[in-house]
Amino acid sequence: MTSPQTDQPLRDNIRQLGDLLGRVLMEQGGENVFRVVETIRNLAKEARSGSNESAARLDSTLTGLDDEHIMPVVRAFSQFLNLANICEQHHRVRRSRAWAADPQSAPLRGSLEEAFKRLTPHAQPEDLHSAVCNMQIGLVLTAHPTEVTRRSLLQKHNRIAELLDRQDRLDLTPEEREGIEEALKREVTAAWHTDEIRQRRPTPLDECRWGYAVVEQTLWDAVPRHARRLDRSLRRYTEKGLPLDVAPIRFGSWMGGDRDGNPRVTARVTREACLVARWMAASLYEREVTALIGELSLQCADDDLREQVGDAWEPYRVLLKRLRARLRLTMRWVEAQLEGRDPPEGEILLDVDALRKPLMDCYYSLHRSGAGVVADGRLLDLLRRVSCFGLTLMRIDIRQEAGRHTETLNAITESLGLGAYRDWSEDERQAFLVRELESRRPLMPRDFQPDDDVQEVLDTFSVIAEQGPASLGAYVISMASKPSDILAVELLQKEAGVQHYLRVVPLFETLADLEGAEGSMERLLQIDWYKNRIQGHQEVMIGYSDSGKDAGHLTAAWALYQTQEKLVACCRRNGVKLTLFHGRGGAIGRGGGPTHAAILSQPPGSVNGSIRVTEQGEVIQAKFGLPGIALRNLELYTTAVLEATLQPPPDPQQEWRRIMDQLSAEAVKAYRGMVRETEGFVPYFRAATPEQEIGGLTIGSRPAKRKASGGVESLRAIPWIFSWTQTRLLLPAWLGVGEALRMAHDTGLEGELRTMFKEWPFFRAFIDMVEMVLAKGDPDVARLYDQRLVPAELQPLGTSLRDRYRETLAAVLRVSEHERPLDDFPVVRRSVDVRNPYVDPLNRLQVELLHRVRHGREENLRKALQVCINGIAAGMRNTG
């Protein structure tokens, strides 16, 4: 078999699954459909190779398809792209294994072995060990509407990946190999007969269950495997292992808690999400404890364990059966809570220590009795899971918009005859809030009868008081801009009788809010009550999505960098440890990109052992959908945070800062000049992209807009980026960048830009990401949308944008000194090249479908259009 360190196994897998799809298409769709698909595929390849004749024939073939044939053609190309994605993910795992197995190869970049070997000469063993043990990485799974693939299909895709993995074994018999081929065909056939489109929009609780399924299917096993690797590396390089109660990575969730602009997330939903999480956790632990009962038939035990179980013949089984009974009782208790029944009597598990203690007792007894090797198997893995997942798998963050708290307090102050809180100055608000926070009496009037919106906010705080810190993480305030925004949430927690206050996290999103973040936090940390409340630790969230939509990618990236620097300095002045929470998306325009490089490009001192990051939509499947990929990403997060903590990058030179200020000013002027000030831009955007049609997709519980009407500013950042990704113009990631780089070139700064690219991780990561997104785009494809869908009077605007795209690419390549995009990323280049001949027909079909749907043939073709949107998303590998 060819070495997995080459790309040949990947090509073989893609060809194998492509052939299987062709056979399924022939059997299920008929020879005529198969011939049409093959004709289109061959013409697309020839057109991509430069044949104008083939491009013309391709267009005429696609525009000539009748309604009956469009759907199978769209489905065929969409399914092929999904199969290619599976092959690529599997090949990543295969290459990592081959790398690790080859004693002659250098350690893989970002692996534990590579990072520890590189950091050891620069750090004392005790410092390295301490950095790992004190590390706090929070990965927060969110349900933003970007995961277009149905869960039913994702499960089939995962089974295909498992079969490809089994097929790689070198000792397979011909019969076994044939069986795998048959199983692969079954999965491809089942996928073909599975509807790609959800029949209804998922509810917030559907999204929660999907998040918990990610834990069950991959993270449940990946977490202890990662801990074992980390423990081995620590023992090798520091002579001390990973303590049993240490979990460097923990998981959070916004599913069921993110109510910002989503009226479907209510207090009741959050309560049910917390209960479902408890049930799921208890179920997973019950399964593991049952397996341990079967395994630990040993009779040797220390005196401490004997004291608990008496003279039992099999002492471990006695203790573990008691724990299993409590887990099962906890599951029944949760079911009763969800169904509104009286809960069963008995001791349920409400404290993680009640789960941990019997397991630890078994662990230590086995070690003291000479059976430590047994303890270090399944039991150790379970203890690692307890440290990571607790009793609720993922603590849910609450997120709400600052204005909702303002309106709630306004209703209270008006009811009390104190005036309109919303009209008070910031100083007046702060004085009132601090006075009430320090007061022992309640503020809320007994006869208070608010409207539904205010009552919903108050009900949410009641749920916080009921569920407590085991289930809930942070309270994130979107559109925060002033100290009173934070103090308002603290007061509402007090009024609800919250015993263990959630940490309150302001989210600074727009360019103006980012620029004002330091001043806001400085004022907040000067308030004695608040300083005492946070006990030396402040978390601040910074938003990549709305800042990018507001100011453009370059200006937002520089503003985010500077804001982090200022917040680090502010907290240091005030003797407070800072954790930065990065609200990143999947697309480059929303902070997406390779994990390792992104963390290492942050300002010095901004990581310092702790970081929180959102993992959104399709990124969750891409990073954690397969066990091997999940394990690799946990490793990358760990090593990047470790390196950023122990060896942070140097401060950028003052000249580089001056240049970035100039680039930022030029970029935001160009970006806003087009998006906000150019007449006709919004009508052009809506005509040239499937923005309106995306709103009809049942891909998330949250509305696509914050407001029912309005222009680009009313759109959420996700559909804004999703729409441009579909047309391959990818405007949010590059608009303004070309103008800024051209200005630098014209003023003689290009040499300095090349130095910045080579020596400054932040600038290198930025240019790499823009180059990557430009390589994935295609202005010639975007032109097809304009020609068919955009009114003639608006088409010059599209021509201008495509010219700017090409100018931006040329400017970026001058800085990186690459002959063509992605010279430094051959794996990504290969991925783009493989996909283009299959995405191109979908783009052309989408143009045709949009034209037909917009001209009255909606009923028959809307579903085909939705499948087409899904297929392009799969081909581009991200949506938002």
Is 226 an active-site residue?
no
CB-based contact 638:735 (threshold 8 Å) = no
Is 549 an active-site residue?
yes
User: What distance in Å separates the CA atoms of residue 60 and residue 417, rounded to the nearest whole number?
Assistant: 72
HSE-CB at 257 with a 13 A cutoff on CA atoms is 28
Active-site pick, 90, 91, 129, 144: 144
- The 3-class SS string of 552-592 reads CHHHHHHHHHHHHHHHHHHHHHCCCEEEEEEECCCCHHHCC
| Residue 868 exposed, middle or buried by CB count within 10 Å (0-12, 13-18, 19+) | buried
Q: What share of the chain is helix, strand, coil (3-state, %, to 5)?
A: 65, 5, 25
Query: What is residue 26's DSSP assignment?
Result: H
User: What distance in Å separates the CA atoms of residue 545 and residue 590, rounded to the nearest whole number?
Assistant: 5
In Å, what is the CA distance from 686 to each residue of 425, 794, 798, 873? 40, 11, 12, 18
Dihedral, 562, 568, 570, 572 alpha carbons, nearest 10? -150
User: What distance in Å separates the CA atoms of residue 476 and residue 505, rounded to the nearest whole number?
Assistant: 5
Paired tokens of 622: 């891409």
Phi-psi region of 396 (alpha: psi -120 to 50; beta: other; left: phi over 0): beta
What element of type H or E holds 739? Answer: helix 737-746
What element of type H or E holds 178? Answer: helix 174-192
Query: What is residue 342's DSSP assignment?
Result: P
Paired tokens of 775: 């390589």
User: What distance in Å separates the CA atoms of residue 775 and residue 832, rounded to the nearest whole number?
Assistant: 8
User: What distance in Å separates the CA atoms of residue 77 and residue 871, rounded to the nearest whole number?
Assistant: 7
Q: Where are the alpha helices (DSSP H) in 297-450?
A: 303-309, 315-339, 352-368, 372-374, 380-389, 402-415, 426-438
Residue 399 CB partners (closer than 8 Å, separation 6+): 254, 257, 258, 259, 260, 475, 476, 477, 478, 507
In Å, what is the CA distance from 87 to each residue of 82, 162, 217, 839? 9, 11, 19, 17
CB-based contact 741:663 (threshold 8 Å) = yes
CB-based contact 871:843 (threshold 8 Å) = no
Strand ranges (DSSP E) for 740-869?
none
User: What distance in Å separates the CA atoms of residue 849 and residue 843, rounded to the nearest whole number?
Assistant: 10
Residue with token string 């097929």: 167
Paired tokens of 179: 């069986």
Residue with token string 């073909």: 192
- The 3-class SS string of 801-814 reads HHHHHHHHHHHHHH
Which sign does the torsion angle of CA 585, 586, 590, 594 carry?
positive
Active-site pick, 91, 157, 549, 582: 549
Mapped onto helix, strand or coil, the DSSP state of residue 530 is helix
HSE-CB at 745 with a 13 A cutoff on CA atoms is 14
Residue 122 CB partners (closer than 8 Å, separation 6+): 646, 647
| Residue 70 exposed, middle or buried by CB count within 10 Å (0-12, 13-18, 19+) | buried
User: What distance in Å separates the CA atoms of residue 206 and residue 224, rounded to the nearest whole number?
Assistant: 27
Which positions are catalytic? Answer: 144, 549
